[in-house]
């Protein structure tokens, strides 16, 4: 009975078209943000940070980037892992070359470098689409991994070929390295996640987002009504790669601390982020968070239920996880293409009308 529009009166177009037109939604959003910033840092420990919170925040940023490209602009990409690797290696080179610069600047610049690389590999989208574009981005995935493996300059001529994040501080608190506190790394990633979601939400609701969706729905008709396909597609690749590069930089520097490109950013990483937006919902910012939360929590929940409580072998639980993810992908593609985000919207519509049937 509390979820109603009753009492919400809008006198301007701005207030009527805001992201949360219902007061209850706005208050819930503020409560969630306050809880995330003011409560979680004081109760989080290393296990919760490394097993759940950091992967969730970083994968949510990567899913936002891929959803902009695939969900909003309709350009299929299978090179997310490679673009995350670009962000990671760009961040590593910046951290080692400019140790006095803030980590915030390093992460943002790493995203900018990835955006430039994304635009370069997005040029084929001007001539090809669909399956052929997916193959082109898949080629980018393998080419980037090969490049980072074969050129020693990227990993500073290390004998192992591995890159390690140096210790860096923000406002006197360590955010990288083995001595970084769980609350500090969590807040560092949370700031980037919230800013990414706000920027993506505003972009998709504006002129740029409408041009992306016009290209997605019918590119020929979009060009007829004045949408520039060159600008729309390349801007989608640039913005998407920026967010993916930020996620890759955080994944390397804050979460893992040391990576080997063939293991940390393999093709499985690209498919994992793709599965997140399929399950969460294409063309939805909330769907990015829902899909990331689901695929991060699923292995933890299966381990607790299957291994710890029921005593199943770990390999059986791992295969069971693949079966669940595959089944859900088939279900959502056939039954509900807009994923968990659409189920959430339907649930809210039911609450707005309850207890009335229509």
Q: What are 215-241's pLDDT values in tens digits?
A: 999 988 999 999 999 999 999 999 999
What value, to the nearest 5°, has the Cα angle with vertex 119 and ends 115 and 125? 140
Classify burial at 189, counting beta carbons within 10 Å of its beta carbon; exposed 0-12, middle 13-18, buried 19 or more.
buried
pLDDT at residue 357, rounded to an integer: 63
In the block, residue with structure tokens 């929590």: 297
Q: What is the full DSSP assignment across 280-344?
A: H-TT-HHHHHHHHHHHHHHHHHHIIIIIIIT---HHHHHHHHHHHHHHHHHHHHHT-TTHHHHHH
End-to-end CA, the chain: 15
**pLDDT confidence of residue 7:** 66
Query: Measured between alpha carbons, how far is 176 from 168 in angstroms, rounded to an integer?
Result: 5
Q: Which two tokens stand for residue 180?
A: 């970084």
Alpha carbon 208 to chain centroid distance? Answer: 19
Query: What are the backbone angles phi and psi of residue 184, rounded to the nearest 5°?
Result: -70, -50
Helix extents (H) in 218-266: 219-224, 229-250, 261-264
| Local structure of 8: helix, strand or coil | coil
Helix 207-217 to helix 229-250 angle (10° resolution) is 110
Adjacent-strand bridge partners of 174: 169
How much of the chain is in helix, strand and coil states, percent to nearest 5?
75, 0, 25
User: How does pLDDT run across 259-300, given as a tens digit for each residue?
Assistant: 988 888 999 999 999 999 999 999 999 999 999 999 999 999
Q: How far apart are CA 35 and CA 7, in angstroms?
A: 27
Q: Which residues are registered as beta bridge partners of 170?
A: 173
User: Which residues, including other chains, have CB under 8 Å from residue 291's CB and lie 6 or more apart?
Assistant: 63, 275, 276, 277, 278, 279, 280, 281, 339, 340
* 58 Cβ contact partners less than 8 Å away, ≥ 6 residues apart: 189, 193, 247, 250, 251, 254, 255
Low-confidence residues in the chain, pLDDT < 50: none
| Residue of 156, 158, 188 whose CA lies nearest to 174 | 188
């Amino acid at each position: 009975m509390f979820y109603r529009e009753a009492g919400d009166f809008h006198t301007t177009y701005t207030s009527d078209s805001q992201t949360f037109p219902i007061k209850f939604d706005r208050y819930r959003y503020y409560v969630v943000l306050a809880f995330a910033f003011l409560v979680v840092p004081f109760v989080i420990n290393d296990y919760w940070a490394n097993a759940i919170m950091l992967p969730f925040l970083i994968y949510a940023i990567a899913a936002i980037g891929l959803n902009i490209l695939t969900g909003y602009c309709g350009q299929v990409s299978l090179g997310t892992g490679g673009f995350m690797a670009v962000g990671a290696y760009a961040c590593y080179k910046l951290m080692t070359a400019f140790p006095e610069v803030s980590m915030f600047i390093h992460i943002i610049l790493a995203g900018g470098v990835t955006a430039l690389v994304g635009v370069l590999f997005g040029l084929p989208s001007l001539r090809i689409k669909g399956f052929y574009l997916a193959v082109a981005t898949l080629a980018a995935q393998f080419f980037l991994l090969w490049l980072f493996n074969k050129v020693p300059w990227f990993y500073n001529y290390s004998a192992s070929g591995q890159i390690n994040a140096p210790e860096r501080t923000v406002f006197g608190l360590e955010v990288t390295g083995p001595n970084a506190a769980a609350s500090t790394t969590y807040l560092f990633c949370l700031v980037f996640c919230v800013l990414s979601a706000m920027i993506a939400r505003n972009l998709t609701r504006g002129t740029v987002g409408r041009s992306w969706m016009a290209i997605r729905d019918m590119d020929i008709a979009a060009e007829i009504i004045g949408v520039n396909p060159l600008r729309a597609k390349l801007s989608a690749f640039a913005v998407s790669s920026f967010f993916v590069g930020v996620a890759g930089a955080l994944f390397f520097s804050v979460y893992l601390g040391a990576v080997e490109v063939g293991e940390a950013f393999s093709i499985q990483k690209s498919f994992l982020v793709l599965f997140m937006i399929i399950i969460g919902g294409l063309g939805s910012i909330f769907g990015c968070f829902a899909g990331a939360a689901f695929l991060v929590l699923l292995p933890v929940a299966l381990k607790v239920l299957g291994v710890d409580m029921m005593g199943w072998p770990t390999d059986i639980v791992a295969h069971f996880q693949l079966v669940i993810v595959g089944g859900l992908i088939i279900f959502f593609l056939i039954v509900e293409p807009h994923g968990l985000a659409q189920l959430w919207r339907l649930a809210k519509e039911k609450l707005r009308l309850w207890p009335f049937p229509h």
